[in-house]
Amino acid sequence: VTDAATTGRGTGVNGDTKTLNTYFSNGTYYLYDTTKPMSGGVIQTATAQNRSTLPGVYSTDADNAWTASNQRADVDAHYYAGVVYDYYYNTHNRNSYDNRGASITSTVHYQTNYNNAFWNGSQMVYGDGDGTTFAPLSGALDVVAHEITHAVTERTAGLQYQNQSGALNESMSDVFGYFLDPNDWLLGEDVYTPKVSGDGLRSLSNPESYGQPSTMSNYVNTTSDNGGVHINSGIPNKAAYYTISSIGKAQAEKIYYRALTTYLTPTSNFSNAKSALLQAASDLYGSNSSTYNAVKSAWDRVGVN
Ligand SMILES: O=C(O)[C@H](CCc1ccccc1)CC1(C(=O)N[C@@H](Cc2c[nH]c3ccccc23)C(=O)O)CCCC1
Ligand SMILES: [Ca+2]
Ligand SMILES: [Zn+2]
């Protein structure tokens, strides 16, 4: 038997070439990455073959050159999951979303023209988009980071996915999406409206440009979207923008990770988040530090006391 970890080459959603950690077994290559220190866990990518059954079947290739157009979503889901794994391991010393080396499973080609993506409690799932609203959603590193961060949040703070705790849950995923893709303040720009350049699904710097509030005074009370979790996330997102702009990404990601994994709880609201981030800033940099004051100022500016 000649099973072996192999290195492949692939084309991503946006036509870019990337190197892939693949696996060769019994004459076929798989999107199955055994190279991470996951003590048995792997990063693995499958296709739903445009149906709804999960996880579907492993993505395979005959020659380890993953360059077919219908493989682009598979390539990016696999590659970006590895990038996000590396980020949490190298930056925060966290071994996968459970901190115990759990396998990271992604399924692409979910349904037909599906304009969304999600973490279903066990794995990531990506639609191909309809080509107008979205390109295949695994083509954006910040989207992949957003989904994996839902898994981290689930295993740590456990922020309930409704109302203010839900908007915080959403914001944490958007903020770590920024930390993975700090080239812009947009989320999903690499897959959102592929025929239009410069736009995104949401903006941390200017939530209003995509219909989100950025101050507590404009909090939206609604029953839809689990109490507006994708709407009211604009408020903590704007606070994160102020914080990162003031203290920089390096300090901000330490504070956010510590607040998420140490202080936030399932029912934390925006005010609790301010306290959690201030406590994290105090722990890491002192309560008289400019860092601490920047966090306080950010949340004051969005009207959270
Ligand atoms: O992870 C999440 O928060 C979103 C999960 C959405 C979902 C939840 C449960 C079952 C199916 C889908 C997915 C993303 C999201 O923010 N979706 C928003 C915006 C959105 C995307 N596609 C849409 C299509 C229609 C309406 C809204 C949307 C939403 O579902 O609200 C995150 C990054 C990109 C897509
Ligand atoms: Ca982005
Ligand atoms: Zn989300």
CATH number of residue 301's parent domain? 1.10.390.10
Distance 118 CA to ligand 1 centre (A): 7
Annotated catalytic residue 230: yes
Same domain, 123 and 208: no
Ligand positioned closest to the Cα atom of 143 = 1
pLDDT score, position 253: 98
pLDDT score, position 2: 84
Which of 105, 139, 173 corresponds to the end of one domain?
Answer: 139
- Please confirm whether the linkage preceding 55 is cis (ω < 30° from 0): yes
Local confidence band at 280 (pLDDT 50, 70, 90 cut-offs): very high
Count up the domains in the chain and report the number: 2
Same domain, 181 and 84: no
Atom of ligand 1 nearest to the CA of 188: 34
Same domain, 166 and 132: no
Annotated catalytic residue 154: no
Query: Cα(184)–Cα(204) distance, rounded to whole angstroms?
Result: 9
Q: Give the closest residue (by CA) to ligand 1 atom 34.
A: 143
Distance 291 CA to ligand 3 centre (A): 27
pLDDT, mean of residues 110-128? 98
Same domain, 187 and 135: no
190 lines ligand 1 (CB under 6 A): no
143 lines ligand 1 (CB under 6 A): yes
Same domain, 46 and 183: no
144 lines ligand 1 (CB under 6 A): no
ipTM: 0.98
Please identify which of the residues 147, 170, 189, 253 carries the catalytic annotation.
Answer: 147
pLDDT score, position 137: 99
Write down the pTM of the prediction. Answer: 0.98
Closest CA to 48 of 118, 143, 147, 142: 118
85 in a structural domain: yes
Closest CA to 170 of 242, 74, 249, 273: 273
Residue 32 has pLDDT above 80, yes or no: yes
Structural domain of residue 64, as residue ranges? 1-139
Distance 225 CA to ligand 1 centre (A): 10
Same domain, 113 and 166: no
pLDDT, mean of residues 69-79? 98
Enumerate residues with CB within 5 Å of ligand 2 (an ion): 142, 181, 184, 186
pLDDT, mean of residues 179-198? 98
pLDDT score, position 1: 73
Same domain, 95 and 194: no
Which of 109, 139, 169 corresponds to the end of one domain?
Answer: 139
pLDDT, mean of residues 263-274? 98
Local confidence band at 215 (pLDDT 50, 70, 90 cut-offs): very high
Distance 119 CA to ligand 1 centre (A): 10
- Report the chain's mean pLDDT, rounded to a whole number: 98
Same domain, 175 and 129: no
Read off the amino acid at residue 291. Answer: T
188 lines ligand 1 (CB under 6 A): yes
Same domain, 277 and 201: yes
146 in a structural domain: no
105 in a structural domain: yes
210 lines ligand 1 (CB under 6 A): no
152 in a structural domain: no
pLDDT score, position 84: 98
147 lines ligand 1 (CB under 6 A): yes
Residue 300 has pLDDT above 90, yes or no: yes
CB atoms within 10 A of CB 152: 25
Same domain, 134 and 200: no
pLDDT, mean of residues 152-163? 98
Residue 41 has pLDDT above 90, yes or no: yes
